[in-house]
Amino acid sequence: MFDFKSGTVAKLTLAASLLFAASCASHKPPERGGGRGGPPNQGNLSTMGYVAAPLNLLYASMDADQDGYTSIDELNRFIDTNWTIMGLEEDSHLRSFDYQSWATIYLGHAEAMPSFIGFDTDLSGSITQLEFETCLRRHFDLLDQDKNGSLNRSELLVKMPSMRGQSGGGGKQRSSGGKGEGGGGKGPPR
């Protein structure tokens, strides 16, 4: 399992508690209105722009020298350090329960992608250091669009898909599969 010092755990718990308390201390809930789905441009996915997946946020956190790029060397240091932090030797295996703890800390949720099975490529029920390294390097290589051996912040972002047909129609339009827009007529009766 993880071998964190109790002071670190206490500080993280305190920080999380303060963030939770601050988020609950708003003066009043946001106004509702603007038709179906709430106010225009509030919570509408089509206006959100770019997002980063949990694994991409992990890569950004590996930027040890804070130069805005995560290099393959920084990835390698992260892999070696994490395998040691988890209390594992080079020939050890990471079990599902321990992976869930790791994913909660580093990816934000036990079920964030890549999942346990995404790492456990031989489906043995445990993750070897080689499988851990291979999965992280494979995703790193997929994100490295310019193939320069480092990830810049723009390579870690994904554009949110446009949610057309949300205004006035009250729902998503289905695509007919061609270049045209819309879905061939009215939606289901209300």
Please determine, for residue 121, whether its predicted confidence score (pLDDT) is greater than 60: yes
pLDDT band, residue 134 (cuts 50/70/90) = very high
Instruction: Please check whether residue 40 lies inside any domain of the structure.
Output: no
Please determine, for residue 185, whether its predicted confidence score (pLDDT) is greater than 80: no
More confident: 141 or 23: 141
Q: What is the pLDDT of residues 20-48, one digit of tens each?
A: 555 555 555 555 554 455 455 545 544 56
What range does the domain containing 138 cover? 52-160
pLDDT at 170: 47
More confident: 114 or 31: 114
Q: Are strands 126-128 and 93-95 parallel, antiparallel or unpaired?
A: antiparallel
Q: What is the pLDDT of residues 5-23, one digit of tens each?
A: 556 666 666 566 655 555 5
Instruction: Please check whether residue 180 lies inside any domain of the structure.
Output: no
With beta carbons less than 8 A apart as the criterion, state whether 43 and 63 touch: no
DSSP state of 146: T
Instruction: Please check whether residue 184 lies inside any domain of the structure.
Output: no
Q: What is the pLDDT of residues 87-100, one digit of tens each?
A: 777 668 889 888 99
User: How many domains, in total, are found in the chain?
Assistant: 1
Q: Give me the mean pLDDT over the 54-58 stretch.
A: 91
Please determine, for residue 86, whether its predicted confidence score (pLDDT) is greater than 50: yes
Instruction: Please check whether residue 186 lies inside any domain of the structure.
Output: no
pLDDT at 149: 94
pLDDT at 143: 94
- CA–CA separation, 190 vs 181, rounded Å? 22
CATH number at residue 151: 1.10.238.10
Instruction: Please check whether residue 98 lies inside any domain of the structure.
Output: yes
Instruction: Please check whether residue 138 lies inside any domain of the structure.
Output: yes
Please determine, for residue 174, whether its predicted confidence score (pLDDT) is greater than 80: no
Alpha carbon 139 to its chain centroid, in Å, reads: 13
Instruction: Please check whether residue 43 lies inside any domain of the structure.
Output: no
Phi, psi of 54 (to 5 degrees): -55, -45
pLDDT band, residue 85 (cuts 50/70/90) = confident
Q: Give me the mean pLDDT over the 159-173 stretch.
A: 57
Residue that has been written with the tokens 């603007």 in this structure: 34
pLDDT at 52: 86
Question: Could you count the other beta carbons within 10 Å of the beta carbon of residue 105?
Answer: 14
Q: Which of 115, 143, 145, 153 is nearest to 131 (CA)?
A: 115
Instruction: Please check whether residue 39 lies inside any domain of the structure.
Output: no
Quote the pTM value.
0.58
Please determine, for residue 128, whether its predicted confidence score (pLDDT) is greater than 60: yes
Q: Which of 169, 157, 151, 56 is nearest to 106 (CA)?
A: 56
